[in-house]
Structure 1
Amino acid sequence: MNIDDLIIKYGLTIGRRFTRKEKNFFCNEIGKDFQALGYSVRGAMGKKKRTKGMNLMIGNVGKAKTIFVAHYDTLNHDFGNPIRYFPLDGNASFSSSFLPMNTPAILSMVLGLILLLGLGRRINFKDNLVMSVLILAVLIVLIVVSFMMTFRIGNKVNLNRNTSGVITAYLIAQQLPKKLRDQVAFVLTDGGNGTHVGDYMLRDALPNTIKDRNVIILDCVGKGPRLGIGYFEASKGNAEKLEAIVKHQDEEAKLHMSLVDEDHVKYTSLSFYEKGMIVCRGKNMNGSLIVENTATNHDDEVEREKIEALAKDLTELAKQIS
């Protein structure tokens, strides 16, 4: 499939992967598409306490020197102010998303307090059973509605986060020469937006060797003037090679290179992989790389040429490090 086919299928037709049914359908469809390229595909359940998630392991993950990781799950809808996502700074992302994602719950608490303090002082609940029941019912409705709006309504349009990473992974798999297919694998993970059940699964599947694997996370790579590359000291060599490849193809390319530490990657998938590297796109804001419009219906655009160019560059990187 070409990139237009992929965008239509995984960005529009199966553009929301929020419920278990939606995720299972996606895994079944994309699993068949990778199999059509000649790769082995198997599902792997990830667990974190009571949370479970299905992940896809594509290729020989146990043997591969290089593993591309892309989250496939999509976010719940943001009813608050637009989230500013910082893929290279987990703390900033957490702080930026907390208020917007919890706006319904906060508003319901405020309305509930107004209801109780405003009417509660004027009503004798012992003598007015009907009003007491009515106020209680309103409070329950507020709680249920706020819970649904915060946790149970999936965002409909998710072209950049997290469809662009999935598409890039497929394009790399499509371009890889057959002699490298035992050395390069792909993992599509669930829980990339919070629980990280896919990252737990991959780390637990390779407990003794994950620290030595070249793990490359594809996160929001579909739109933005700057290509972000976040890396640890252990993966600095790989990051510099990718930088050289990108610059060789486009001397005017704008890159945002970021050597990260444990504090930067808190709450992120990169924290699971000692030799990991994250690739993303966005724009500069006060020295940080940000991605806008995620978890809203404005996440409806990706730059096809940039995705194709990145897939080509990452394929070349895989050839060099695998």
Structure 2
Amino acid sequence: MNETSRRILDHFQVRKTKKQKEEFRKYIIHELNQYGYCPSIQHKGINNNIIIGNIEKAKIFCTAHYDTQAVLPFPNLIVPNNLFGLILSQLAIIICVLILIFFMNIVLIQLFVWIGLFKNIELNIASSISWLIIMIWMLLGKANKHTANDNTSGIITIIESAIKLPEDLRDEVCFVLFDNEELGLLGSSAFAKEYKEYLKNKLIINFDCVSDGNDIFFFPTKQIKNDQSKHENIINAFASTDYIRVHINKGFGFYPSDNFSFKYAYGVCSLKKGLFYYLDRIHTSRDIIFNEENIELLSDGVCKLIKTTHTSR
């Protein structure tokens, strides 16, 4: 892993506030200038997407989000390729939230009665206040200091790919780092809307949480789910190793990330295998697993895919 990526992992894992994001963008632009790139910023509303490459000429777009979340008391467990597992995991999260609200309601009721704000506060009022506190906590709460997987891993995959890529192939791809994925895919939605003409029929590969797990999954959107030629190109470029297995998810799949903003896209993540394939630890202080082998496989695969796209023209 190069020094630019190492410094991101060591010093830029927190990218939540306006200042933190601005410092990260300045660092990325400065570093990539040293490698012959001229990154630009798409300013759109509250979004500041980092664009690395030529949007008009690119045949492939490789993307990742760079914003980070507040630290949460329980992980955002995701089971993306099994419907039953997905339902169970989401129920588990809902139950955790409801338990948290229950205890918050008890505290709020006692607090309001104690200070004399209400003589008899109704439960629905306390519940509404609890929900509001949780929403504010998620949006404005203390930043998670540990974001190795979500999504420092995706950023470093993009940076490693860009630096490894030979100069004569750079017009074939545009690398983009999206802002505000955690707020609801705002950065990628703004990018898709503004550059709709250049993105038409182009392949987008979005890397999100790719360093914690030995099974790397490519989740295709509906429009390319049955496109065997695209799947073969992916498997040939991103070849499995003895330790890391690469899969194209052809059955049920629901991976909620910036790939949702595009028609022809793969959402890429690494999963662990238990009863189901799953993703955990993210949005908590336990998000510290960073498998460099995953990043090497993915960045090498990006370069190979771009080379194949160039030679097949």
The TM-score normalised by the length of structure 1 is 0.79
**Which of 264, 276, 279 in structure 1 is aligned with 2:254?**
264
Counterparts of 2:254 and 2:131 in 1: how far apart (Å)?
A: 34
More displaced 10-residue stretch of structure 1: 181-190 or 224-233: 224-233
Determine whether 1:109 maps to 2:105: yes
Determine whether 1:319 maps to 2:307: yes
- For residue 315 of structure 1, report the CA deviation from its aligned partner: 1.0
Determine whether 1:188 maps to 2:177: yes
Determine whether 1:20 maps to 2:8: no
CA deviation digits over 1:251-300, x for unaligned, max 9? Answer: 67423321368x835x532222111112211113444x322211111111
Q: 1:40·1:60 contact (CA, 8 Å) conserved in 2?
A: no
- How do residues 1-322 of structure 1 correspond to structure 2 at under 5 angstroms? 2-3=1-2, 6-7=5-6, 9-47=7-45, 52-80=46-74, 82-86=75-79, 107-113=103-109, 115=110, 131-133=115-117, 149-151=137-139, 152-232=141-221, 233-234=223-224, 236-247=228-239, 250=241, 253-259=244-250, 264=254, 267-287=256-276, 289-322=277-310
Distance 1:23 1:285, change over 3 A: same
Distance 1:60 1:86, change over 3 A: farther
Q: Percent identity?
A: 22
Structure 2 residues not aligned, in runs of 5+: 121-125
Q: 1:104·1:146 contact (CA, 8 Å) conserved in 2?
A: no
SS of equivalent to 1:292: coil
Q: 1:68·1:186 contact (CA, 8 Å) conserved in 2?
A: yes
- For residue 12 of structure 1, report the CA deviation from its aligned partner: 2.6
CA deviation digits over 1:97-130, x for unaligned, max 9? Answer: 55657875553234324x28xx96xxxxxxxxx8
Distance 1:143 1:191, change over 3 A: closer
Higher Cα radius of gyration: 1
SS of equivalent to 1:203: helix
Counterparts of 1:27 and 1:244 in 2: how far apart (Å)?
A: 33
Counterparts of 2:30 and 2:94 in 1: how far apart (Å)?
A: 37
Q: 1:104·1:150 contact (CA, 8 Å) conserved in 2?
A: no
SS of equivalent to 1:208: helix
Whichever residue aligns with residue 264 of structure 1, its letter is: F
Distance 1:208 1:150, change over 3 A: closer
Count of matched residue positions in the alignment of Structure 1 and Structure 2: 298
Which residue of structure 2 aligns with residue 127 of structure 1?
A: none
Distance 1:133 1:251, change over 3 A: closer
Distance 1:88 1:165, change over 3 A: farther
Q: 1:231·1:260 contact (CA, 8 Å) conserved in 2?
A: no
Counterparts of 1:95 and 1:302 in 2: how far apart (Å)?
A: 28
Distance 1:205 1:143, change over 3 A: closer
Structure 1 residues not aligned, in runs of 5+: 121-129
| Root mean square deviation, CA, Å | 3.3
Distance 1:210 1:270, change over 3 A: same
Counterparts of 2:134 and 2:264 in 1: how far apart (Å)?
A: 40
